Structure 1
Amino acid sequence: MSDRARVTRRGVLAGGAAAATALGIGPLLGQEASSPIPAAPAIVPDRWDRLARIAGDDLLRPSSPQFAAEALPNNLRFEQVRPEAIVPCRSPRMIAEVLAWCQEHEMPFALRGGGHSYAGFSTSRGVVLDMTPMDAIAYDAASGRVRVAAGALNAQVYEALRGAGRMITHGRCPTVGAAGFLLGGGIGFNMRRFGVGADRLVASEIVTADGRVRALSQTDEPDLFWAIRGGGGGNFGVSTSFTLETQPVDTRLTVARLVWRDKTLEAAKALFACTDAGPRVLGSRIALGGVTPALAAKGRQVPLTLLAQYAGPREEFLALLAPVLAVAAPDFTDMRELAYWEGQHFLLEPGEPGWYRERSAFLANAPSEAFLETAVEHLRQWPGTGAQASLFFFQTGGQVNETPPEATAFVHRDSRWLGVVGAVWNAEDVARPEVVRAAKAWQDALYGVVNRFGGAGAFQNFPDASLTDWRARYYGANLARLERIKAAVDPTNLFSFPQSI
């Protein structure tokens, strides 16, 4: 492929900026200036004919009936970023041919599994390589391993593992893609006992910039195998499959949703104390919601919600929660003992498309009383949108921290909680930019509180285009090695986006 022109980051961004200026395209609402999405250069029609010969009848252009629906990202902040074509990819060889076409025609592109990139990195004004047709899942009972093609969505993985009576570390949103989840590490309610999702990877396959289809494992290209376990999606090539070790499903699982709307600050302090000391079979998510000053003046308190999974009987889980239940009784309780996969349905987060922005940081300790008091006061100042805002915490630690930070590219091995400040708005708010600006300013201020009380790093699977120090926050001490591997496998920086390595 040395005789083909290659796309460089500088060339793509310069070409994109020139095209945007020529067309009079301004910044998109909700898109930070630090994350420009390059525009497509002018293309003569016969080049699209050549792409159609690679993709066949599956190629989607703007005139295709299903194009609008397929082009829509999960984060509607980027719904106006529409590609010139969507290529449903069906094999590694087809991916290699599409990449060669993009290099030859200097066409920007993006890789898409579930399309959930928080920062819009799974869409493009050029070409989108849609991985969802590559969704095969095969479980091998002899080894206890499952091979998941990169286009599979969480819901498909759930069904395959349910049938096999197995489980892995997985997320809660059924429409998230397996590739994006695993390449950034992959967090979920099982991580405290099994590690992050990528910790269970034993083999993978990837198409690199030179068109090679490479098999990766501890013995085959170990450097690149190290890099894809937490190095983030789209940095080193197009991953096409993942082989993971699985575990037998739990025979008894307690799942629960508890909500406090009274004495919530006292309840939050007690709740963090008892969950932080909980065993590894506990997985939890604790959320505090925003309340507008008008509602706060009427007596509305900041709501507190616990969503939890406990691999054991209900009685044990209730005993663990006894200290917080003694402080304040929840206003709503739904607690059940279920089979494992029925329990996952209870915990499921639909993840419908919407307008949202999230900012994350890892915490070495549970939030202190001073942290919670400051955060609750800030949450009482939520300026309001047509949706909601929250400060929520995923419980980490356990087996995640048993793996050394240099063992895989996922460097975040010294935390006990992952704090996230989320803001959501709706279609009406899009027409009121001052509302969105106020929500973002409030969110940034609360993110500052998180950092002031010990927040460090950021989760690469929750990309945040507002970060200026994202390299250090996502990858920490592993960044230098990741950069060396990137230079070796992608010397012309074909795989480039605003926060690519």
Structure 2
Amino acid sequence: MSLLDRRAVLIAGGAAAAAALTGCGDSKDNAGGTTSPSQTPTTSAPTTTAPSTTAAPSSTAVPSSTAPSTPNTSAPTLTSTPPNWNSFSRSLTGKLYMPSTSGYAAAHQLFNPRWDSVRPTAVVKAANPADVQKAINFARTNKLVLVPKSGGHSYVGASTISNGMQVDVGAIRGMSYSNGVLTVGAGARLYDVHAFLDRYGRSLPTGTCPTVGVAGLTLGGGMGIHTRTYGLTCDRVVSMGVITADGKSHNVSATVEPDLFAALRGSGGGNLGVVTSFRFATIPATKLGFFRLTWPESQAAAVVRGWQKFAQTAPTTSWGNLHIDANSNGTLSIHVLGVSTTGNANAAAAQLESFVGAKASARSITVKSHMEAVKYLGGGTTSPRQGFLAGSDVLKGAMDAATITALIGAVKAAARAKTPASAILDPLGGQAAKQPAGGASWPWRSALGVVQWYSSAQGTNAKTFIANGHRAVRAASAGAYVNYLEAGRVTSSYYGGSSAKLQAAKKKYDPTNFFHAPYTLA
């Protein structure tokens, strides 16, 4: 399986139809920091001795809540005495892992093996929200940095930390369904969520990687094939259970602590608290029509122009992401994987071809059931751990000819250097352009789409490709997607016009900056 997006790896028609749908090598929704759009972001990830200050949770990681406006006065008093790990361990329903504990090596692993050398002081495998509360109180009392983990797909390894505590909510994954609403624990993985909902003929708009955690995806926004028809994953949230920095439990919604509710919908994980559960308004699990269109490299610029017009004018029932992939022989592969939520992809494929101004050199049209589509897009029911480097740019509008040429040139340079690399363009618009009831902090409602820069390599050539990609589209970039975190980006580039409100929420709910890391709100 070819991992072309930290969020989504697609296998289409037996070929790598790459994916920026939702992450595997990505996490189609991550959490994190940023570099301002005017900068040339550094794509190198944090050193394997992660900052002692901590890293923010992954796009698939859990956190994204906040601390109460008034710190809990009954909270434990800070002390300089050594942590009483034995007492803490006995208080948990789940399990505490430390470097001397059997199973520690596997307990702290993330999706990307490049973070295996980062060694937390302790890993808490929480069995329930009470364990999360105890972990937060213990970390606060003992002045430990705490980072949450759900799926662990963060591009920058934000859900692990050297010399700190990792709280893994993966075991909090129970699900129930009633009257169109899914209640789910923050540790649930996307494949399991879709399989559960399929029993009721329902679904959710999500990314595609089967092992991404629902929490990280949702808290950062959540793009996928249903984005234009039903909006982002975070737009479907009805309420959330969250533990704030003072260890208090909250159930937030559009009517209960609405400022925190809106902030959590799109701000990314690890900024305001640890979310332990969600209630989602589901969507129908209908058959989907798929198309895959391929053009020769000579048509690359025409395909980008056509895709942009498709993203701007196609019906909200149509979606298609564009893949420009570097081949090892120095050439480029150009294709669009598209979906029609009406179940008939012929019209959508024909419209895209008309915008391109050239018939595809190869095409396939298929119809798939809900679970057939889930497995097709995710490359199966699970995904192996894989290393990668990735980044993103949010396109504020259609790129001009010079920018398109530069974008294609960045991938072409990678191909000549024999660097496995892809530029994956996901469309926005449609329902995603509308603010959901109750509000959300996801800032890119008016954007055309998101470019994901992805390489399964991890060395200098991969970093060069991503840096070249950022430079290529700088004139058209509004910022970056928080679920595609990169080292070296200033945080404000992920939050755009939502920055001021998020800073206010941070000050109100986490006044002591308990949840702090290189990729979190200050």
* Secondary structure of the corresponding residue to residue 73 of structure 1: coil
Which one-letter code corresponds to 2:515 in the other structure?
A: F
Q: Which residue of 2 aligns with 1:459?
A: 481
Question: Residue type of the partner of 1:422?
Answer: Y
Once the two structures are superposed, residues 201-230 of structure 1 have per-residue CA deviations (whole angstroms, 9 ceiling, x without a partner) of: 111111111111111111111111111111
> What CA distance in whole angstroms lies between the structure 1 residues aligned with 2:235 and 2:294?
33
Partner of 1:176: 212
- Are 2:191 and 2:374, in contact at CA under 8 Å, matched by a contact in 1? no
Q: Which aligned pairs between 1:104-143 and structure 2 lie closer than 5 A?
A: 104-125=141-162, 126-141=164-179
Q: For residues 292-332 of structure 1, what are the alpha-carbon distances to aligned partners after superposition, in whole Å with 9 as ceiling and x for unaligned?
A: 6xx33xxxx3111212211131432343244268624334x
1:255 paired with 2:290, answer: yes
Deviations 1:152-203 (A, max 9, x none): 1111111111111112211101111111111111111111121111111111
Q: How does 1:63-82 map to 2 (within 5 A)?
A: 63-82=100-119
Instruction: Classify 1:395/1:236 alpha carbon distance in 2 versus 1 (closer, same or farther; 3 Å).
Output: same
Matched, 1:483 2:503: yes
Unpaired runs of at least 5, structure 2:
1-42, 55-79
The code of the aligned residue for 1:382 comes to A
Query: Could you say what secondary structure the match of 2:456 adopts?
Result: strand
In structure 2, the CA distance between the partners of 1:35 and 1:486, relative to structure 1 (3 Å rule), is farther
Asked whether the 8 Å contact 1:96–1:211 carries over to 2, the reply is: yes
For residues 165 and 367 of structure 1, what CA distance do their matches in structure 2 show?
39
Residues 57 and 165 (structure 1 numbering): CA distance in 2 closer, same or farther, change over 3 Å? closer
Q: Could you tell me which residue of structure 1 aligns to residue 398 of structure 2?
A: 366
- On the 8 A contact 1:255/1:336 being kept in 2, the answer is yes
* Aligned-partner SS, 1:170: coil
State TM-score, norm by structure 1: 0.83
Which residue of 259, 282, 297 maps to 1:246? 282
1:410-421 to structure 2, matched below 5 A, reads 410-421=442-453
Distance 1:267 1:223, change over 3 A: closer
Q: Which residue of 2 aligns with 1:96?
A: 133
CA distance in 1, matches of 2:241, 2:93: 24
Give the Cα–Cα distance (whole angstroms) in 2 for the partners of residues 258 and 71 of structure 1. 41
Distance 1:172 1:480 in 2: 31
By how many angstroms is 1:149 displaced? 1.0
Maintained 8 Å contact 1:276/1:416: yes
Deviations 1:358-405 (A, max 9, x none): 221211333343322222223221177886111111110111112289
2:392 and 2:451 in contact (8 A); partners too: yes
Query: Residues 127-276 of structure 1: matches in 2 within 5 Å?
Result: 127-141=165-179, 144-250=180-286, 252-265=287-300, 266-276=302-312
Which amino acid in structure 1 is aligned with residue 217 of structure 2?
Answer: F
Partner of 1:339: 369
With 310-319 and 487-496 compared, the bigger mean Cα shift is at 310-319
TM-score by length of 2: 0.80
Give yes or no for contact 1:35–1:498 (8 Å, CA) kept in 2. no
Q: Is the CA contact (8 Å cut-off) linking 2:48 and 2:117 kept in structure 1?
A: no
- Could you tell me how far apart the structure 2 residues matched to 1:368 and 1:273 are? 12
Indicate whether 1:290 and 2:326 are aligned.
Answer: yes
Correspondence for 1:445 among 468, 471, 483: 468
**Larger RCO, structure (CA 8 Å, separation 6 or more):** 2
**Count of residue pairs the alignment pairs up:** 449
Structure 1 window deviating more from structure 2 (87-96 vs 352-361): it is 352-361
Instruction: Provide the C-alpha distance between the structure 2 equivalents of 1:480 and 1:360, rounded to a whole number of angstroms.
Output: 22
CA contact (8 A) 1:271 1:321 kept: yes
* Alpha-carbon distance in 2 for matches of 1:34, 1:65: 22
Matches within 5 A, 1:485-500: 485-500=505-520
> Conserved in 2, the CA contact under 8 Å of 1:150 and 1:241?
yes
Instruction: Among all aligned residue pairs of Structure 1 and Structure 2, give the percentage whose two residues are the same amino acid.
Output: 27
Are the structure 2 counterparts of residues 410 and 57 from structure 1 closer, same or farther at C-alpha, using a change threshold of 3 Å? closer
- Which has the higher mean CA deviation after the structures are superposed, 383-392 or 407-416? 383-392
More divergent stretch after superposition (84-93 vs 382-391) = 382-391
Partner of 1:84: 121
Hey, what's the Cα distance between the residues in 1 that align with 2:92 and 2:520?
26
**Secondary structure at the counterpart of residue 473 of structure 2:** helix
- Structure 1: gaps (5+ residues): 1-28, 427-435
Supply the distance in 2 between the matched residues of 1:364 and 1:146 (Cα, whole angstroms): 33
